[in-house]
Structure 1
Amino acid sequence: MGTDSPPSSSSTAPVAVGAKNAVRAVAQHHRAVVGFLLGFFLVLLLYTTLSSQFGSQTAIGVLQSSSAVRSGPAARAAAPSLPSSSSTPSNLAQGDYMEEDGGHKNDKPSKMEEEHIQDDAHRIGKNNQSEAKLDVKNGQNAEQTGQQGASDASDRMEEELIRQEIDQGGGNKNDTIIEPATAPRKPICDLSDPRYDICEISGDARTMGANRTVLYVPPVGELGADSQEWSIRDQSRKYLEYINKVTVKSLNASQAAPECTSRHAVPALVFAMNGLTSNPWHDFSDVLIPLFITTRALEGEVQFLVSDLQPWFVDKYRLILRNLSRYDIVDFNRDGGVRCYPHVTVGLRGHRDLGIDPARAPRNYTMLDFRLYIREINGLPPAGVSIPYKEANSNAATAASGAPEQQQQRKPRLMLINRGRTRKFVNFPEIVAAVQKAGFEVIPIEPRRDVSVEEFSRVVDSCDVLMGAHGARLTNFFFLRTNAVMLQVVPWGHMEHPSMVFYGGPAKEMRLKDVEYSIADVESTLYDKYGKDNPVVSDPESIHRHGWQFGMRYYWIEQDIRLNVTRFAPTLQQVLRMLSE
């Protein structure tokens, strides 16, 4: 009783079983680690083999695809290495991808190959797991912990490779787009066009005419530390020094916006009426056509804020201005308040001299659209009505009822414009007589500035031919009917090109018939003034090479025309034939 007795079998059994289990757990954990390393080695071997077949970029994609079976945000962020066609947002991104791939966009593995590689990797992992499967719960937890640690290490390695590729300009730039903390603000003003500058402000736009300033007040969330400012000429000719500039400014967080003295529900347009206006050609080319391009699509729902307002311009072209805007014109320079608009445009879009580019115009407007528009607002007959010569004779033939005395046709009517100062016809009465002799009814005109546009437009509409020397008065061709003729007398001095560009081309675009008569050197008063051997007469090209101001001096300003009516007669016959076609 007093001596120690050996332990019984029942008391020693748990100790033996515990030791045995611990040894087994350690052994199984060891096998799990060895199994994982073996699996990783096989995957690495696959990676090395595929690298030689698909290139380094594809191999990285395969390595990523083999681990892409895991789920969760980390997997989604790291796994998609190769771009698909549907995920490429732009041609620029596609170009980047092709450059990284050495220009071989189709070298990436097919979907079937990727699935096969993933299946192999998954099968290897399952075999390793089955070999290392533990008999007890503690062993399972140890295995899962070991695998999770190895998986985390693999994730970190993969993510580091991707990060290094991105840092070095590699990888797929299409997977993740990282926006800057503060995106740069879109410029309000576009200064890229060689002809005009334009500013568009949408949102909170405030005008201060007395300061020739237009402000943009960004929403509170977009207010930054920097402000933007432009100074532009608010007409269609950006380099014309006669146009005073308007300042356009975007406020920043530290700048207080002035209080509105009036609020408006419609957009506004700020533009200048000065410059080269008072010449009809420039009135249309610099202001009225650009105004049509910029605002016609708004159908009158816009208010004009006019800098350097010209009262005579407003009075002369009041029908056009009232039709393009249903609201009162504001004298911008004298406007002392702060007007608030939902949208303000500063400047006028102009495509070319006396022209419209349909590809750049709202609703693809053309010069034909502009001519028909001008005729409509002046109350002239619509497009389908024939030229007066044909219309009158057709009506006369219908009403004559066969009486010979009533079937006499009306002569075609020709408006003969004589300029007042330069390039005028010095033998005007002789020209009138020659035109009448050729078979035309002549309406001689020496335009005055005080003539009403509406009244004069009706006179032009009644004519079949508009004739004059190259110059601004030919701008009245806007009031002619379709298929009427513009007969342009081209002065001496290689003036054919500007005559075609400024009038001949636009006339054809508006479905008018263009006829040009180029005078001979002896028909120019320069011949009398300088003599036939002077370069001004004998070699005009040498004068133009000295600069535009020399050509302007001699051929636009100093020159008048003495038309040789005998030489001119065939041109009049050509016009008669065209009217009869």
Structure 2
Amino acid sequence: MVNHSRTSSEPSPTTSMPAVPAAKGGGGGVARTLAQHHQAVVGFLFGFFLILLLYTTVSGQLGSEDATVRAVTTQSTPAVHTDQRDRTASPTSPTTTTATSIPSNATTQGNNLERGNEQNNVEGKKPAGEDRKDNIVDGTGKNNQTGEELGKIIGRSDQPAVNDASDKMEEELIRQDIDKGSTKNETSAKLGAPRKPICDQTDPRYDICEISGDARTMGNKRTVLYVPPVGEVGAGEEWNIRDQSRKYLEYINNVTVRSLNVSQMAPECTSRHGVPAVVFAMNGLTSNPWHDFSDVLIPLFITTRAFEGEVQFLVSDLQPWFLEKYRLILRNLSRYDIVDFNQDGGVRCYPHVIVGLRSHRDLGIDPARAPRNYTMLDFRLYIREVYSLPPPAVDIPFKEATKAAAASGAGGGMATDQRRPRLMLINRGRTRKFVNFPEIAAAVQAAGFEVLPIEPHRDLSIQEFSRTVDSCDVLMGAHGAGLTNFFFLRTNAVMLQVVPWGHMEHPSMAFYGGPAREMRLRDVEYSITAEESTLYDKYGKDHPVISDPASIHKQGWQLGMRYYWLEQDIKLNVTRLAPTLQQVLQMLKG
């Protein structure tokens, strides 16, 4: 019997006979269809596998790129905001500060100022040899370096190279992050809490305004502007302050300090400066040496000494005589040209502006409130250094002369006057003057001093006079501005203050005695009796001016000023003065 069950085109398992073509419309068509289906399935699975493999590879690469971008952003942001010349010095460092004293709320706009114009900024010239280009943010906020250069800076040389498309993507992401970096890192914090007010008017002595960031001055309008970054809280405020250390002194004109808001257009800069500026007044009670130092020079020292000369002064109500008299001090505190603020018609742009002067007390410094804990001793030594006087290690002239004589072996043959302590006797020109000045000078000499009589005047050259004071061991005078020359005395020298009649001990100690002791000078006070005052002869012993000074002071400071400061002169009883002179002599010899 013939088997008809094998209708497939497959060959017999036991023969190699070729397959017999199937009849049209028979079982061969089904087999072909199954084979094609099998191939399609295999192709699909192979394609799916390739897609899965490609997806896994691309995902890993993208993840690596994202991590790289984050690393680049994190590492590159500080480099964008850093200028080697603007790094903050340590509190004890003697290095100068340009943007160093600017608080941390300085904005990118402040960093965009041209740091190359720190010298001769009034003329707008760059200093000689200043030709290097700093790595700072340009005017658009983008970094000037390419993505390749950034890669070298952040140390990506050991990472696998990526294709050009990835390089461009990474560079663009870095640029976008840099564009937003300053706003994101600084402004977001400010949005959460308003910035500290620009002006502080809480101190009973002075008002002070301090701007960090984009500060612009318009001197002939007596105005200082703060241009805040977009989104900063607290914009649109305005203050009017007197820019000196005595806020209630009517002779000082106001300066307006204004923080612009988003709707106000900032004036264009006519000059840019890389150092801070201080706006302050020179008028008021100046022309009296005590007020010159107490109201301007000591507050200016407190406010600006930490800048180490890297600060510019914009002076309102400028006094030419003040500039000439104290030019060495002013030039040492600032290396830059002084600007007549009232006459300045330009718009000066600074990274940091202070308006006003800090002051702690009359002719005094509170170390706890002063930068670097400055003291009155620091100020005296600073003044002596400015005027090229001997350093602190040099003893008072009397002892130096004694040492020199002993070293030379000529002690026995030296003239007596050469080994006497030298006493400068200051006589005032108008009020509280010594009416028996020659008699006092003779008494001083008789007590064993070499006497140097002086009647200072305002036009006296400080540079020359400071050397004369330095040559003395004692400075003697009635309570008043002449004693301000004690800044030029050496450590352990003596200030002998003659205290006028009328309960004047307290102001004498507060204005001169206390500061002298803080500066390591020895303070001796001689309080006169009523009979040694010319008020005694003028009003008599029964007048309240003589018999009851407290009742005069209770009626107001104006009355006390009239009698005891302005009307009174002094006729010293030289016999009564003699023991005090001997006390001073023994102090110097001890």
Q: Distance in 2 between matches of 1:488 and 1:380?
A: 24
Match of 1:481 among 490, 495, 520: 490
1:462-515 deviation line (CA, Å, top 9, x unaligned): 000000000011000000000000000000000000000000000000000000
Report what 2:212 is aligned to.
202
Q: How far is the alpha carbon of 1:307 from its aligned partner?
A: 0.3
Q: Distance in 1 between matches of 2:520 and 2:233?
A: 52
Q: What SS does the aligned partner of 2:551 have? A: helix
Report what 2:266 is aligned to.
257
Within 5 Å, give how 1:147-158 maps onto structure 2. Answer: none
Checking the alignment, whether the CA contact within 8 Å between 2:190 and 2:233 is kept in structure 1 is no
Q: Distance in 1 between matches of 2:232 and 2:523?
A: 55
Match of 2:393 among 369, 376, 384: 384
Checking the alignment, whether the CA contact within 8 Å between 2:299 and 2:357 is kept in structure 1 is yes
Q: How far is the alpha carbon of 1:221 from its aligned partner?
A: 3.0
Q: Distance in 2 between matches of 1:364 and 1:179?
A: 31
Is the aligned partner of 1:416 residue 2:425? Answer: yes
Q: How far is the alpha carbon of 1:293 from its aligned partner?
A: 0.4
Report what 1:16 is aligned to.
none
Distance change (3 Å), C-alpha of 1:438 and 1:210: same
Report what 1:239 is aligned to.
248
Match of 1:348 among 349, 352, 357: 357
Checking the alignment, whether the CA contact within 8 Å between 2:243 and 2:356 is kept in structure 1 is yes
1:82-133 deviation line (CA, Å, top 9, x unaligned): xxxxxxxxxxxxxxxxxxxxxxxxxxxxxxxxxxxxxxxxxxxxxxxxxxxx
Within 5 Å, give how 1:492-507 maps onto structure 2. Answer: 492-507=501-516
Q: Distance in 1 between matches of 2:372 and 2:342?
A: 32
Report what 1:368 is aligned to.
377
Report what 1:186 is aligned to.
196
Checking the alignment, whether the CA contact within 8 Å between 2:195 and 2:233 is kept in structure 1 is no
Letter paired with 1:404: G
Checking the alignment, whether the CA contact within 8 Å between 2:224 and 2:257 is kept in structure 1 is yes
1:63-93 deviation line (CA, Å, top 9, x unaligned): xxxxxxxxxxxxxxxxxxxxxxxxxxxxxxx
Distance change (3 Å), C-alpha of 1:306 and 1:179: closer
Distance change (3 Å), C-alpha of 1:358 and 1:329: same
Q: How far is the alpha carbon of 1:220 from its aligned partner?
A: 2.1
Q: How far is the alpha carbon of 1:449 from its aligned partner?
A: 1.4
Checking the alignment, whether the CA contact within 8 Å between 1:400 and 1:406 is kept in structure 2 is no
Q: How far is the alpha carbon of 1:450 from its aligned partner?
A: 1.4
Checking the alignment, whether the CA contact within 8 Å between 2:426 and 2:454 is kept in structure 1 is yes
TM-score, reference length from structure 2: 0.67
Is the aligned partner of 1:229 residue 2:234? Answer: no
Q: Distance in 2 between matches of 1:397 and 1:182?
A: 73
Within 5 Å, give how 1:30-109 maps onto structure 2. Answer: none
Match of 1:463 among 461, 466, 472: 472
Is the aligned partner of 1:563 residue 2:577? Answer: no
Q: What SS does the aligned partner of 2:231 have? A: helix
Q: How far is the alpha carbon of 1:393 from its aligned partner?
A: 1.1
Report what 2:293 is aligned to.
284
Q: Distance in 2 between matches of 1:400 and 1:328?
A: 52
Number of matched residues?
Answer: 402
Report what 1:315 is aligned to.
324
Checking the alignment, whether the CA contact within 8 Å between 1:210 and 1:333 is kept in structure 2 is yes
1:212-232 deviation line (CA, Å, top 9, x unaligned): 0000000123277x5100000
Q: Distance in 1 between matches of 2:299 and 2:361?
A: 9
Q: What SS does the aligned partner of 1:516 have? A: strand
TM-score, reference length from structure 1: 0.68
Report what 1:428 is aligned to.
437
What root-mean-square deviation, in Å, do the aligned CA atoms of Structure 1 and Structure 2 show? 1.5
Checking the alignment, whether the CA contact within 8 Å between 1:397 and 1:407 is kept in structure 2 is no
Q: What SS does the aligned partner of 1:220 have? A: coil
Q: What SS does the aligned partner of 2:419 have? A: coil
Q: How far is the alpha carbon of 1:186 from its aligned partner?
A: 2.4
Report what 1:217 is aligned to.
227
Q: Distance in 2 between matches of 1:256 and 1:368?
A: 47
Q: Distance in 2 between matches of 1:236 and 1:179?
A: 33
Distance change (3 Å), C-alpha of 1:181 and 1:208: closer
Q: Distance in 1 between matches of 2:346 and 2:545?
A: 56
Which 5+ residue runs of structure 2 have no aligned equivalent? 1-187
1:270-320 deviation line (CA, Å, top 9, x unaligned): 000000000000000000000000010110000000000000000000000
Q: Percent identity?
A: 82
Q: How far is the alpha carbon of 1:397 from its aligned partner?
A: 1.2
Q: Distance in 1 between matches of 2:341 and 2:189?
A: 41
1:30-72 deviation line (CA, Å, top 9, x unaligned): xxxxxxxxxxxxxxxxxxxxxxxxxxxxxxxxxxxxxxxxxxx
Q: Distance in 1 between matches of 2:351 and 2:195?
A: 19
Within 5 Å, give how 1:14-33 maps onto structure 2. Answer: none
Within 5 Å, give how 1:267-306 maps onto structure 2. Answer: 267-306=276-315
Report what 1:161 is aligned to.
none
Q: How far is the alpha carbon of 1:180 from its aligned partner?
A: 10
Report what 1:404 is aligned to.
412
Report what 1:124 is aligned to.
none
Checking the alignment, whether the CA contact within 8 Å between 1:400 and 1:407 is kept in structure 2 is no
Which 5+ residue runs of structure 1 have no aligned equivalent? 1-177
Q: How far is the alpha carbon of 1:405 from its aligned partner?
A: 1.9
Checking the alignment, whether the CA contact within 8 Å between 1:223 and 1:252 is kept in structure 2 is no
Q: What SS does the aligned partner of 2:466 have? A: helix
Q: What SS does the aligned partner of 1:278 have? A: coil
Q: Distance in 1 between matches of 2:461 and 2:260?
A: 45
Report what 2:61 is aligned to.
none
Letter paired with 1:335: D
Q: How far is the alpha carbon of 1:210 from its aligned partner?
A: 0.5
1:405-443 deviation line (CA, Å, top 9, x unaligned): 248561100000000000000000000111011011000
